[in-house]
């Protein structure tokens, strides 16, 4: 017998405050035309001042638990992918654990910036396979607006806040096959030599401030296109799958042009790609579970569909997950 990880429910949450490109153009030297042409983004949601990452995570987690039909007290592992924790410590995951009324198991954060959800899923899958957890919550949650430098128009127009969550359950099978519902494989990478391309210029050990997001956009774009193409091929080859086997690409939503490029390399028509970047902008670790939840609730993603998730972020970090929904 083998233990595999099944995704049994999903949920998401976006703060109420919607900010359009035109709204931004009132305080930043930019335009709706420029932002749409370069990124595909039309609007984003921003958390209010008294709304924290754990609040967004809680709402997404509650919706995922409801969708899965699981009570919060059954959860024995919580992993939150976030780069905008409520506090430097403790982890946002333990605050979420408290809000959910859980007292058992383990809760911790994973810091892989925009790849945070894929990293968190990889960690949870390993822990479930090795018998360390039975029912886990995997969350991507960010208030990335707190790190935006409003004097840097090349970055401040690109991001938004939000949270998404999935409930992952241990299931015993005779042997794992690609056709079974569950996580088929995860593939994560990083290259710390590329840190200077995308980083936050603050931190408890350096400036004792949260700092501002800083990015060399063109270079990040170039690495994203190359690394994402490589990691999706790696995921397919590892499982003897073809491009045509994928039902839905559920990509990190940073930039429509990057998503177009990955879809083209996979020979996937855009109607097989879950796209939320237009309405959510780049929500960092939250973007994949937000897109997944959108796809499921809109009735696009159906049980049995093969999903390919992929992301790249600061670090640089990147990764992919193949999941049979």
Catalytic residues: 114, 252, 282
Choice from 102, 254, 290, 292 touching ligand COA (CB under 6 A):
254
Nearer to ligand COA, 143 or 282 (CB): 282
d(CA 199, CA 317): 11
Is residue 134 close enough to count as binding ligand COA by CB under 6 A? no
Strand 77-81 and strand 135-142: the pairing is parallel
Is residue 312 close enough to count as binding ligand COA by CB under 6 A? yes
Calculate the CA 273 to chain-centre distance. 15
Is residue 39 close enough to count as binding ligand COA by CB under 6 A? yes
d(CA 276, CA 6): 24
Nearer to ligand COA, 247 or 278 (CB): 278
CB of residue 81 to ligand COA, shortest distance in Å: 13
CB of residue 158 to ligand COA, shortest distance in Å: 6
Q: How many chain residues are in contact with ligand COA, going by CB under 6 A?
A: 20
Is residue 99 close enough to count as binding ligand COA by CB under 6 A? no
271's CB contacts (< 8 A; 6+ apart) are none
d(CA 64, CA 269): 29
Residue 283's H or E segment, with its range, is: none
Choice from 157, 277, 320, 322 touching ligand COA (CB under 6 A):
157
Calculate the CA 212 to chain-centre distance. 20
Tell me which stretch binds ligand COA (CB under 6 A): 33-41, 43-51, 96-104, 261-269.
33-41
Nearer to ligand COA, 6 or 317 (CB): 317
Identify whether the C-beta of residue 168 lies closer than 8 Å to the C-beta of residue 117.
Answer: no
Tell me which stretch binds ligand COA (CB under 6 A): 3-11, 49-57, 188-196, 251-259.
251-259
Question: Is the peptide bond between 90 and the residue preceding it cis, with omega within 30 degrees of 0?
Answer: yes
CB of residue 19 to ligand COA, shortest distance in Å: 14
Choice from 34, 278, 279, 297 touching ligand COA (CB under 6 A):
34
Is residue 38 close enough to count as binding ligand COA by CB under 6 A? yes
Torsion angles phi and psi, residue 175, rounded to 5: -155, 155
Q: Which two tokens stand for residue 36?
A: 């749409």
Residue 194's H or E segment, with its range, is: none
Identify whether the C-beta of residue 297 lies closer than 8 Å to the C-beta of residue 95.
Answer: no
Is residue 313 close enough to count as binding ligand COA by CB under 6 A? yes
Identify whether the C-beta of residue 104 lies closer than 8 Å to the C-beta of residue 76.
Answer: yes
Nearer to ligand COA, 142 or 293 (CB): 142
Choice from 217, 239, 265, 279 touching ligand COA (CB under 6 A):
217
5's CB contacts (< 8 A; 6+ apart) are 124, 125, 128, 129, 136, 168, 169, 170, 171, 182, 183
Tell me which stretch binds ligand COA (CB under 6 A): 40-48, 138-146, 149-157, 261-269.
149-157
Is residue 227 close enough to count as binding ligand COA by CB under 6 A? no
For 23, 228, 273, the CA distances from 222, given in Å and listed in that order, are 29, 10, 21
CB of residue 213 to ligand COA, shortest distance in Å: 9
Name residues contacting ligand COA, limited to 279-298 (CB under 6 A).
Answer: 282
Nearer to ligand COA, 106 or 148 (CB): 148
d(CA 305, CA 3): 21
Which residues sit at the interface with ligand COA, rule CB under 6 A? 30, 34, 38-39, 114, 153-154, 157, 215, 217-218, 220-221, 224, 254-255, 258, 282, 312-313
């Amino acid at each position: 017998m083998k233990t595999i990880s099944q995704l049994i429910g999903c949920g998401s949450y976006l703060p109420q405050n919607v900010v359009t490109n035109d709204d931004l153009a009132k305080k930043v030297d930019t335009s709706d035309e420029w932002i749409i042409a370069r990124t595909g983004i039309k609007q984003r949601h921003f958390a209010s001042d008294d709304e924290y990452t754990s609040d967004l995570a809680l709402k997404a987690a509650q919706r995922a638990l409801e969708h899965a039909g699981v009570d919060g007290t059954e959860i024995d592992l919580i992993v939150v992918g976030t780069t905008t924790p409520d506090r430097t410590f403790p982890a946002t995951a333990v605050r979420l654990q408290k809000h959910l009324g859980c007292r058992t198991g383990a809760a911790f954060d994973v810091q892989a910036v925009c790849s945070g959800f894929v990293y968190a899923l990889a960690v949870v899958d390993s822990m479930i396979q090795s018998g360390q957890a039975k029912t886990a919550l995997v969350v991507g949650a960010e208030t990335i607006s707190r790190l935006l430098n409003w004097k840097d128009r090349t970055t401040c127009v690109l991001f938004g806040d939000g949270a998404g969550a999935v409930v992952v359950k241990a299931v015993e099978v005779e042997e794992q096959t690609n056709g079974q519902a569950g996580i088929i494989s995860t593939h994560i990478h990083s290259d710390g030599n590329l840190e200077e391309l995308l980083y936050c210029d603050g931190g408890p050990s350096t400036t004792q401030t949260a700092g501002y997001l800083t990015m060399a956009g063109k270079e990040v774009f170039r690495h994203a296109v190359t690394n994402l193409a490589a990691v999706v091929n790696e995921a397919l080859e590892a499982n003897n799958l073809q491009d045509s086997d994928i039902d839905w690409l559920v990509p990190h939503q940073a930039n429509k042009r990057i998503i177009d490029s990955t879809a083209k390399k996979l020979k996937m028509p855009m109607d097989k790609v879950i796209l939320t970047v237009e309405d959510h902008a780049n929500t960092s670790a939250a973007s994949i579970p937000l897109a997944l939840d959108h796809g499921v609730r809109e009735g696009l993603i159906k049980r049995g569909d093969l999903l390919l998730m992929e992301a790249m972020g600061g670090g640089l970090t990147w990764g992919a997950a193949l999941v049979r929904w």
